[in-house]
Amino acid sequence: MLRSLFVRIRSADARLRVSALALVLVAAAAAAGPGDAAAQERESAGVPRSAVYAPNGAIATSQPLATSAGLAVLEAGGNAVDAAVTAAIVLTVTEPHMTGLGGDLFALYWSEAEGRLVGLNGHGRAGSRMTVEALREAGHESIPGRGAASVTVPGSLAGWADLLERYGTFTLAQALAPAIRLAEEGFPVSPVVARDWAQQVNALGNDEGSAATFLVDGERAPRAGEWFRNPDYARTLRNIAEEGPQLLYGGELGRRVVEGLDSLGGFLTLEDLRAHRSEWVEPISVPFRDVRVWQIPPPSQGVAALQMLRILEPFPLEQMGHNSPEYLHHLVEAKKLAYADLSRYVADPGHMRVSVEELLSDDYVDRRRALIDPYRAMESPDPDPVLEGSETIYLAVADAEGNMISFINSVFNYFGSGVVVPGTGFHLQNRGQGFTMEAGHPNQVAPGKAPFHTIIPAFVTRTGAGGQDEPWMSFGVMGGAMQPQGHVQLLLNMLLFDMDPQQAIDATRFRHYSGLRVGVESMLPESVRAALRARGHEIDGIGPLAVGGGQAVVRLERGWVAGSDSRKDGQAAGH
C-alpha cells in the first residue's frame, strides 16, 4: 500500500506531494505500533536486539519515526539518498538537540551505477567578521561554546539539496514533507531524547527563541511520550519546500538569521550565507586485513580512525581476545597516538602543514607504533578540549539497486549554540568552537575558514572477483571525540570476532578521554578493569551517553543486514 501511495505522490504536483507524502509517514508509523510489553521485558532483562535482515533495502537511524520515514521512501521506489535525506530531516524534528537545519553534514555515498564511493562535505565556514581580534574585543579569550559568537554558516540544507540533485530521485519538497507534517501536527517524544532534552533546560532558558521553541510553557522539556509540536519550524520547512535552499542562502530566511545573530553579537553576514557551497570530495582510505576502510577527509577527524587501524594492524588482536586487558590496552594506546596528531595537525585542508598521506605513511605509522609499551600506559598529549563535544545523528541506508550511504548530521553541542532566531523554529550550530585562538595553529580562527569537525561517516569496501572495490558496510558511531575510537571498536568486533552488525554495535565500549583516563561501560568485568589499572590506566565507569550510538548496514551475498544501537531510541528496518 505504501509503495503505491508514493508512486502516486511522485506523479502529483509539488504542493500536493508535500501533503500526501507526509500522510504516508503517519500511516507507516501507525502500522509500526507503540511496541509491546514483551519487547520491553526482553530489553530490561538484558536480552540483546536481533540484527535486521532484509531482501531489498535497509535503513538504520537513531529514532524510529525517522526510520519509518526512510523505509517508506525505499518501499515507494526511492533510492538510498532519497531515504537518507528524508530520514535526516525528520530527525531535525524528533531529535532537535542533536541535529537541525542550522547544522552541518558529511556523507559517503556508494553509487552502484558509477561503481565508486563519493564524498560530500556539507560544512559551513566562519563568518567574514569572525577574527581573533573581534572575538577578543567581545571579551572572549577562547572560542565560546554557546551564543551567537560560536555560530558558523550552516551547511545542512545545501547538503540535503545537493545530494538529492546529483544522486536522488525525490525533490527537496518531497524529502521535507514528512518532517513538515511531524513539526506541524506533533509526535510523542521518545525516552532517550526526553532524557537528554531534560538536561538542557537551563541552557535553553538563556535564549528567548530557544525557550519559546523547545521548552513546554517556556519552563521544562517534554517528557517521554508527551506530544511535542514545532509550528514555527513547520512553517520554515514549508517555505523552503516552496522557494528552495536560496531562502536561507541569501534570501529572506537568511536575512532574519543574520539580523537575529547581529543583535546577539554574531559574525555572519548575508553574503556569507549567499557564498556557501557544499564540496564533493575524494574520500580517504587505508587497507585493513581483507577490507578497505574509508573516511571523509579533513577538516573532519576521520584520519584518526584510519591511523588507529594502521597502528593496530600488525598486532595479534584476535589472539589477545575481545575486550581482554591486552586488547583494550593496545586500542587505547593507538588512540592516544592518533589523537595527539589529530589535535596538532588537522584543520581546514587549505591551512594544514602536514598532509593526510604523511600521517598515514608506512614510515610515520611505524614510528608511532613503536611508542606502544605492551605493559604500560603512556602519558600522551591531550586532544584539544573541543574534541569532547558529542551531539550528532548518524544513519545508514541501502537500496534495492545496491546504492549505500553513510550520513552524519550535527549541530555540535546539545542544541548547538543555544540560539534560535525567534519564529524560525531551529537552532544554529556552535561549530565555531571547533577553532582555536592559538597563534600560528593551523586551526586558528579566521574569516571564511572551515573549523575542525568531529563528525565522520565511515564506509568499508571489499575487493571483488575482478579486483575492483565492492561495497560492504556503511557505518558510524556518534559522539564527538568518541567517533574514531568508536569506529575502530565496532569494525574490529565484526572483522576479527565475527559479530553481526547489531552485536558489534551493542558490544561493551571504552572511551579514552585524556592522559591516563579511560571510561568503560558497566558490563566490562572488574578483573579486566584491575588488569588495566595495573598497566597504569585510570579506569572510570561511564554510562551509555558517553560512548555515543551507532548504526550500520551491511551488504550480504544477497540482501542486507542492519543494526541500530540499543543505547539510543533507534531502529533498524528493511523491506
pLDDT given at position 253: 98
> DSSP states of 282-340 as a string?
--EEEEETTEEEEEPPTTBTHHHHHHHHHHHTTS-HHHH-TT-HHHHHHHHHHHHHHHH
Range of the domain at 526: 283-389+455-574
Residue 516 lies in a domain: yes
Strand-strand pairing, 291-295 and 458-463: antiparallel
Question: Can you give the C-alpha Rg of the chain in angstroms?
Answer: 22
Per-residue pLDDT band for 46 (boundaries 50, 70, 90) equals low
Q: What is the pLDDT of residue 344?
A: 85
CA distance 567 to 229: 25
What distance in Å separates the CA atoms of residue 91 and residue 521, rounded to the nearest whole number?
27
Is 450 contained in some domain?
no
Identify any residues that bridge with 52 across adjacent strands, giving them in sequence order. Answer: 562
Instruction: Give the model confidence (pLDDT) of 55-95 as tens digits.
Output: 999 999 999 999 999 999 999 999 999 999 999 999 999 99
C-alpha span between 433 and 146 (Å, rounded): 8
Cβ distance 404 to 472 under 8 Å? no
Q: Residue 380 has what pLDDT? A: 67
The percentage of the chain sitting over the pLDDT mark of 70, rounded to a whole number, equals 90
Cα distances (Å, whole numbers) of residue 427 to 27, 163, 190, 233, 456: 29, 22, 20, 10, 21
pLDDT for position 350? 87
Backbone angles phi, psi at 517, to 5 degrees: -80, 125
Cβ pair 394, 407 in contact under 8 A: yes
Q: Which of the pair, 243 or 7, is modelled with greater confidence?
A: 243
Catalytic residue list contains 392: yes
Can you read off the three cell numbers belonging to residue 135?
572575538
Per-residue b or e along 515-539, where b marks 16 or more CB atoms closer than 10 Å to that residue's CB: ebebbbbeebeeebbebbeebebeb
- Per-residue pLDDT at 27 exceeds 60: no
The whole-number pLDDT of residue 466 equals 79
Residue 564's DSSP bridge partners are 551
| 422 within 8 A of 212, measured Cβ to Cβ | yes
357: in domain = yes
- Number of domains present in the structure of the chain: 1
**Peptide bond preceding 299 in cis form (omega within 30 of 0):** yes
> What confidence tens digit (pLDDT) does each residue in 407-445 have?
999 999 899 999 999 999 999 999 999 899 989 889 999
Query: Mean pLDDT across the stretch 116-134?
Result: 96
CB burial of 287-305 (b: ≥16 within 10 Å; e: otherwise) equals ebeebbbbbbbbbbbbbbb
The pTM score is 0.90
Confidence of residue 391 (pLDDT cuts 50, 70, 90): low
Question: Which residues are CB-neighbours of 248 under 8 A, at least 6 positions away?
Answer: 101, 154, 157, 240, 254, 257, 273
Is 416 a member of any domain? Answer: no
Return the amino acid letter for 469. D
> Residue 568 maps to which CATH number?
3.60.20.40
478 occurs within a structural domain: yes
Q: Report the pLDDT value the prediction gives residue 454, as an integer from 0 to 100.
A: 86
> Quick check: 36 pLDDT over 60?
no
3-state secondary structure 360-394: CCHHHHHHHHCCCECCECCCCCCCCHHHHCCEEEE
Tell me whether residue 397 is in a domain: no
The verdict on residue 10 lying in a domain is: no
Q: What is the DSSP letter of 47?
A: P
Residue 90 domain flag:
no
Active-site pick, 61, 392, 424, 436: 392
